[in-house]
């Protein structure tokens, strides 16, 4: 199955600067992407102005013309351009080329804009080409990379869909939040560079926590509102009878208690009340207590002893209600505490995995170079160039050293990161037990 694809004659703008200078997506370009029904390989290119990015992308498209080259560049074409072409080798794939415009262009310099374009290019692509002329422009790379943790942070935060509530339980809300949080943290962890001292990750944790708190707060308010309106509805006939003085007769107290009981159980059988159900009921019935007492003392069908017994019974019921309301709150509190713990562990686990992966990749890279040099050295020896082979030994030793160092520094790197995250997170996640010791041991034990 080859699937539907598109072949564009020329590139179109995908991300542009609108009149306020804000970046936005070009709808018609999204329409083109929508038509593609194949696997896509997305290659984007970043790098400084006039380093041949567009030229390179045109080559990848197999064309001489396409993305506008140097001289034809216009300041309004800042943004990201897209060109969808058939993949040169895989028939059931479409190659989506993304060319970035105007990065690091001092004349039209806008660093913030550049960082956004850079971050988007990273996030949108499956392969990123960093294009540079001559030697790698470390300065430019640093400049482009350094703020990207920050940009990725905003991007991760913009991801979560707004979720509207009333949830029946705190648990439901917590589960929605957990899914969103995991995703936001993954986007951040997998795409950020150079997040020194986990500064931006902690910021992400904090902001997500604040967002969750806000959503919980809204959920409480919604629950409160919903419960109050249900109470008003269900207890209305009883209120009516109180106002009419219907209970102020001999035998009226028993009737009152009975009506109260029926209304209470009807209220409790209703759905859609949320996390404040018992609290709101408790408050309402608490306010009714003095009316109950008045009805009781006016009820002449009861002896004084019977009245005392009824008053005792009412107190017991009130305290049972209070316990229920407290229990309800405890469940919520416990859940919130568990949520904070989960937030912390989710962040730490993803961070540790990232450190692990980075370290593994660095070691593999050292090893790849090392193996190549060893082979070269071996070839030289075989060909009798002993001197040159000997000269290579220093470089080989340095590579071995670098590889060993990478292995060695990992445990301390991990425990420092754990320490930082644990200590800082405890400030805005007061419910967590950082278990730093345990987690370090757990993570480190995986390493050996
Ligand atoms: N001869 C030659 N010219 C190139 C090469 N790469 C770029 N150029 C030229 O350098 C200029 C700037 O390249 P361009 O792709 O527009 O740079 P960009 O700003 O990074 O997109 C253009 O005039 C290109 O034709 C290359 O590899 N060889
Ligand atoms: Mg260009």
Instruction: Give pLDDT tens digits for 235-258.
Output: 999 999 999 999 999 999 999 999
The number of the ligand nearest the C-alpha atom of 48 reads 1
State the closest ligand 1 atom to the C-alpha of 51, by its place in the atom list counted from 1: 20
pLDDT of residue 229: 96
The number of the ligand nearest the C-alpha atom of 53 reads 1
First to last CA, the chain: 46
CB contact set of 28 (below 8 Å; sequence gap of 6+): 12
Instruction: Give pLDDT tens digits for 40-72.
Output: 999 988 877 778 889 999 999 999 889 888 765
Cα angle vertex 248, ends 245, 250, to 5°? 145
Would you kindly state where each structural domain of the chain is located, as residue ranges? 12-135
Distance CA 56, CA 52 (A): 6
Instruction: Give pLDDT tens digits for 187-233.
Output: 888 877 778 889 889 988 888 888 888 888 888 998 999 999 999 99
* Residue that wins the pLDDT comparison between 123 and 337: 337
The number of the ligand nearest the C-alpha atom of 58 reads 1
Whether residue 425 contacts residue 205, with contact meaning beta carbons closer than 8 Å, is answered with yes
Q: What is the mean pLDDT of the chain?
A: 85
Residue 42 CA to ligand 1 centre (angstroms): 21
* Residue appearing with tokens 């002896």: 303
Token duo for residue 193: 């560079």
Distance CA 286, CA 284 (A): 5
Query: What CATH number belongs to 12-135?
Result: 3.40.50.300
User: φ, ψ for residue 301 (rounded to 5)?
Assistant: -80, -10
Distance CA 25, CA 189 (A): 25
Query: With a 6 A CB cut-off, is 51 part of the ligand 1 pocket?
Result: yes
Lowest mean pLDDT among 296-310, 340-354, 420-434: 420-434
Q: What percent of the chain has pLDDT over 90?
A: 51
Whether residue 167 contacts residue 275, with contact meaning beta carbons closer than 8 Å, is answered with yes
Of 289, 294, 291, nearest in space to 315 by CA: 289
3 state SS of 127: strand
The two counts, helices (H) then strands (E), for the chain are 13, 6
| Sheet strands side by side (includes 127-131) | 23-25, 12-17, 79-86, 93-101, 39-47, 127-131
Query: With a 6 A CB cut-off, is 78 part of the ligand 1 pocket?
Result: no
pLDDT of residue 161: 42
State the closest ligand 1 atom to the C-alpha of 68, by its place in the atom list counted from 1: 16
Give the Å distances, CA to CA, from 441 to 408, 409, 423, 438, 444: 16, 16, 17, 5, 5
Instruction: Give pLDDT tens digits for 131-170.
Output: 766 555 555 555 555 445 666 666 655 544 444 456 778 8
Residue 51 CA to ligand 1 centre (angstroms): 6
Q: Is the pLDDT of residue 35 over 80?
A: yes
- Using 50, 70 and 90 to split pLDDT, how confident is the model at 179? confident
Q: pTM higher than 0.95 for the full model?
A: no
Whether residue 272 contacts residue 226, with contact meaning beta carbons closer than 8 Å, is answered with yes
User: φ, ψ for residue 260 (rounded to 5)?
Assistant: -60, -45
pLDDT of residue 350: 93
Query: With a 6 A CB cut-off, is 52 part of the ligand 1 pocket?
Result: yes
Q: What percent of the chain has pLDDT over 70?
A: 85
Instruction: Give pLDDT tens digits for 368-383.
Output: 999 999 999 999 999 9
């Amino acid at each position: 199955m080859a699937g539907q694809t598109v072949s564009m004659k020329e590139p179109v703008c995908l991300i542009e600067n609108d009149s306020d200078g804000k970046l936005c997506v070009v709808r018609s370009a999204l329409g083109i992407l929508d038509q593609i029904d194949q696997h896509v390989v997305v290659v984007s290119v970043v790098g400084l102005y006039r380093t041949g990015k567009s030229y390179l992308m045109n080559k990848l498209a197999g064309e001489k013309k396409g993305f506008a080259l140097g001289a034809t560049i216009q300041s309004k074409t800042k943004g990201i351009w897209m060109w969808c072409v058939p993949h040169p080798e895989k028939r059931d794939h479409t190659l989506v080329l993304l060319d970035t415009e105007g990065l690091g262009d001092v004349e039209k310099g806008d660093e913030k804009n550049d960082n956004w374009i850079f971050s988007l290019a990273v996030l949108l692509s499956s392969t990123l080409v960093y294009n540079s002329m001559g030697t790698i422009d470390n300065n430019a790379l640093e400049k482009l990379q350094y703020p990207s943790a920050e940009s990725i942070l905003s991007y991760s935060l913009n991801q979560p869909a707004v979720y509207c509530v009333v949830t029946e339980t705190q648990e439901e809300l917590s589960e929605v939040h957990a899914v969103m949080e995991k995703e936001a943290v993954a986007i951040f962890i997998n795409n950020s560079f150079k997040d020194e001292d986990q500064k931006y990750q902690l910021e992400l944790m904090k902001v997500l926590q604040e967002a969750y708190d806000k959503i919980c707060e809204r959920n409480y308010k919604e629950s409160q509102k919903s419960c109050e309106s249900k109470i008003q509805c269900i207890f209305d006939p009883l209120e009516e009878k109180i106002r009419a003085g219907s209970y102020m007769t001999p035998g009226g107290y028993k009737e009152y208690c009975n009506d109260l009981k029926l209304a209470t159980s009807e209220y409790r059988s209703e759905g859609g009340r949320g996390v404040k159900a018992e609290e709101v009921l408790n408050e309402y019935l608490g306010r009714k207590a003095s009316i109950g007492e008045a009805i009781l003392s006016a009820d002449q069908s009861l002896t004084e002893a019977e009245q005392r017994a009824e008053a005792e019974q009412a107190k017991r019921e009130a305290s049972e209600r209070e316990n229920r309301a407290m229990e309800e709150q405890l469940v919520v509190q416990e859940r919130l505490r568990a949520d904070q713990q989960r937030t912390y562990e989710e962040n730490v686990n993803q961070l540790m995995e990232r450190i692990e992966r980075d370290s593994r990749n660095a070691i593999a890279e050292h090893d790849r170079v090392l193996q190549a040099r060893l082979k070269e050295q071996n070839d030289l020896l075989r060909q009798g160039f002993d001197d040159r082979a000997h000269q290579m030994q220093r470089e080989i030793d340095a590579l071995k050293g670098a590889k060993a160092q990478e292995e060695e520094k990992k445990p301390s790197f991990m425990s420092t990161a754990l320490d930082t995250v644990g200590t800082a997170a405890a400030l805005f996640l007061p419910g967590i037990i950082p278990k730093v010791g345990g987690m370090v041991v757990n993570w480190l034990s995986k390493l050996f």
